[in-house]
Chain A
Amino acid sequence: MSQANTVADFLPLDVDGLPGKLAASVKAVPQLARLMALLSTKLTAVQWKAFLHTLAGKVAGLRDEPLTPILAGAWKDIRKVAEAIEITRRSPGRVETVAVADHTIEHEQKPTLEVYLDGSRVEEIPCSLSLEIELRGLLLEIEGGTLRKMTTGEVQLKGTFKLADVVLAEKQLQPIAIPGEIPLTG
């Protein structure tokens, strides 16, 4: 069971091999094909490869999303948790522990990579990150109107990371280890 603090921990990528994967995906990704056609008049083949290396670095960087803010953002709107936040805000020093029923958090992000040529945007490459997190036996500690700590029994995670329609990383639902107690802010 792997321990995951960020999405990248759960969805690892072969960053060194990613430029080659992007080059092989040019036909499947119309944005990359257009970009290649445009830049072929400006760049040499070596420079195009250098560009793909830079692009790969940026694509891989999109997974550097910490998991806990995603979780905390989802829990804040659960009714019991919202009530505890309000109570502890009114009573400084009081600590509330909330047991949250088993649930699944579905999270989706669609960032884009914008490519600029001499300051003008010439292409926009859509990416998507989908996560499904199953949590059982969750305990939340709330103090002063904020989530302070979480303790989980079992966590399973499933995720997909795509560049346009090309899947770059994917993992089926599998248990992951989240540190027994995670301090939360917010």
Chain B
Amino acid sequence: MGAFVEVNPRRWTTVPPFKGHRRDELSRIFEESHLKRGSEGEAYDATYPAGVVSDQKPEAGQTVERGSQVSLTFSRGAAPVTSAPAEQVTAIPPGKPSPREDREPEGVPTKPRPKPTMRPATPYPTAKESPTSGAGSGGSGGSIPTAIILVAAAAAVGLLTLVYKILKRPGPDRPDRHEVAANLEVRPVRNDGRQRLLGKPPNATRVGIAIHPDPGRTVVRFHRSGSTEKEGER
């Protein structure tokens, strides 16, 4: 009873190395190797830059049937190194994806990732960096964490908005509710920084006088027969 070994080189293929390749390069590699894309995921990996294939199954060099699926894992870069309050991260404007999210294609299923509380100090760490830096134990090597920069930027935007509202609020130049009877424009002794911000002449102060009339009260008294009183109607 003999054993048959099917030898048909056209049926088999060797898995090429996907690691280190970017997403836009994968289609060409899959086409050349007669393989299909399998499941995809993401994981922190300090060795590979974010967005680059960091792991594959099966490994490169293995012989598999043509049309087999290759599962890929894409690097998310180095893992966060420190923790920060969650609300600081939410300072990113809603609806605007972060730079990391920009690199993810839509519709591709991804593994549920741990919620990052701080971005990595450098988005593309090199292999020369300490491997412990991806485990969250190391510092950022003196660089300012991105979250802090974002929080500072958000605070600056809020401050500028507040200043803008203060400068635009109704007030100084608006006519009052009564007829303004007179206006003097004079130069004060002191400077007023706010006036300068409002774009008025730097040293001008406006003094106005308005008349608030009173219709008055009128009483009629007859000399002989009592009195009649009435309120003025003007």
* Residue ranges of A at the interface with B (Cβ–Cβ < 8 Å): 39, 41-44, 47, 50-51, 54-55, 57-58, 61-62, 69-70, 73-79, 101-121, 124, 129
Contact = CB atoms under 8 A, between A and B. Distances in A.
A55 B216 CA distance: 22
Contacts of A70: 216, 218, 232, 234
A119 B206 contact: yes
B233 A111 contact: no
A78 B209 contact: no
A73 B210 contact: no
Most chain-A Cβ atoms within 10 A of its Cβ — which of B187, B207, B211, B234?
B207
Contacts of A57: 182
Given A41-B189, A113-B210, A118 B172 contact: yes
Interface in B176-231: 176, 178, 180-182, 184, 186-190, 195, 205-225, 228, 230
Most chain-A Cβ atoms within 10 A of its Cβ — which of B211, B213, B218, B233?
B218
Contact of B188 (A43, A76, A106, A114): A43
A102 B217 CA distance: 20
Contacts of B176: 114, 116, 119, 121
Nearest to A101: B222
6 contacts: A54-B184, A57-B182, A77-B220, A78-B220, A104-B220, A118-B206
B174 interface: yes
Contacts of A124: 212
Contacts of B178: 114
A174 to B, nearest CB: 18
